[in-house]
Structure 1
Amino acid sequence: MASEVMQKETKLANGWLAWRVEGRIDISNAESVYLSGEKIVEREDKTVLDMEAVSYISSAGLRVLLRLYKKANREGKEFSVAGAVGMVKKILLDSNMNSYLNMCQSLDEL
């Protein structure tokens, strides 16, 4: 059974759509997270994934981020991540995701 993650969207004053995900992003829910993100990227010009409340990300979760980044890039749109902390931030940096993604400390940096 797939573990569900909480997701919430907020339109920021500067034109970005903040998409907040809470919980784990792993093999059990990666496709569901991707499909939600795909819909957002399709309709928004600038999307930021707020990862402040993400407690864990697996390699399946990293693939989700890369797929969303590539989709946005192909469509001439922007996709960033913000707020990653602790182990999640370490995983993103250790996997060199910052070479692809714009990684912000907080939504205020956009």
Structure 2
Amino acid sequence: MNVTSKTVGNITVIEAEGSIDSKTAGEFERGAMGPIQGQTAVILDISKVDFLSSAGLRVLLMIYRQIKSRNGKVVLLGASEEIQDIMANTGFLSFFILVDTLDEGIAALKP
């Protein structure tokens, strides 16, 4: 699991790579929760995530709740069809804006 963050304008972009499961969810949480503190516009680039377990879903929900509490929005970038299916089956998909490119994500977060 590799988690990095960067800022594009006023948007925080969190990039995750690898599997997000019970062994790596803590690392994903630590890598994502710090950079989003105080933010209202976040893009989670999960285009390089090959597996998402319930532990990963829990972290996504934590991120969503943190941003939503500040009336912000969270965009998921590059979610695979498999991950979208998992999120749809659990009802999590409706919490996020789905996009295929960074430019689409930035446009979705503009006021």
TM (norm. structure 2) is 0.81
Deviations 1:3-45 (A, max 9, x none): xx112223224x3221110000011121221122111110433
Q: 1:10 aligns with which of 6, 9, 26?
A: 6
Name the residue aligned to 1:65.
60
Task: List 4+ stretches of structure 1 deviating above 3 A.
Answer: none
- Residue number in structure 2 paired with 1:30: 25
Cα distance in structure 1, aligned partners of 2:40 and 2:51:
27
Alignment gaps of 5+ in structure 2: 106-111
Alignment of 1:1-110 (within 5 A): 5-13=1-9, 15-110=10-105
Bigger strand share: 2
Which AA in structure 2 matches 1:95? Answer: T
Could you tell me the percent identity over the aligned residues?
24
When the two structures are aligned, how many residues end up with a matched partner? 105
Q: Distance in 2 between matches of 1:99 and 1:87?
A: 16
